[in-house]
Structures are given as C-alpha cells and as structure tokens.
Amino acid sequence: MNDMEVITKDMEEVKAYFEALERGTKYVDNVTANFHPVMNGEVYLTGEEVCRILHITTRTLQDYRAQRIIPFISLPGKTLYRQSDLLRMLEENYVQMKQRSKRRKSST
C-alpha cells in the first residue's frame, strides 16, 4: 500500500499557490478594467472615463455636449468620446502662462 499525503488548504505550498493565483487574478482584472480596444486606430471613451480624466461631473459633461464644447458620438443608449478629440480640444484651449519678470529687491 502506498503512503498518500493528504493535501489541505493549510499547507504552506497550497497557500503559496492560492496567493499566486490571487495576484494573477488581480493583475488580469486591472488590465481588463483599463483596456480600451482600438477600432480603426481610434480609442473611444465612455462618459464616466471622460469625467474621471477631466475631473468633471457628469452634469458638466452634459453641459459641454449641449454647448458643443466637446465632440461626441451618440448611439442609442450610449454616448462615446474619441480620445483624439479630447486631446485636440485640450490643445486648442491651452492657455500659455505669462512669463513673469523677476522682481528686483528695493534698495531702501
């Protein structure tokens, strides 16, 4: 009769396997959560993603759409934004800072 070892979840080796599996699962979840499929060389973002990127509320995003400040694609039940349109909008609205002249110390 062969001596068979009983494998339990409390064994260090089993714990190590489960920990590695958990790390792998978290990595895959993170990658898939931040994955944006490219369609014809373009990345499309949801309203939630745009709000997070621009640090604005959904109401502000709605105002931007209504005022035609931000380009968008309207589908039944879904509004999408091209990443390239957002970058272009940011570039077009970039305001340069004035270069401040150095202040001289008064000699009083």
- 37-88 per-position pLDDT tens digit: 677 889 999 999 999 999 999 999 999 999 999 999 999 999 999 999 999 9
Q: For the whole model, what pTM was predicted? A: 0.58
CATH placement of domain 36-91:
1.10.10
**Cβ-based neighbours of 51, under 8 Å, separated by 6 or more:** 57, 58, 60, 61
Find where tokens 């970039």 sit.
94
- 4-44 per-position pLDDT tens digit: 777 787 888 888 888 888 888 888 777 667 666 677 889 99
How high is the pLDDT of residue 1?
A: 38
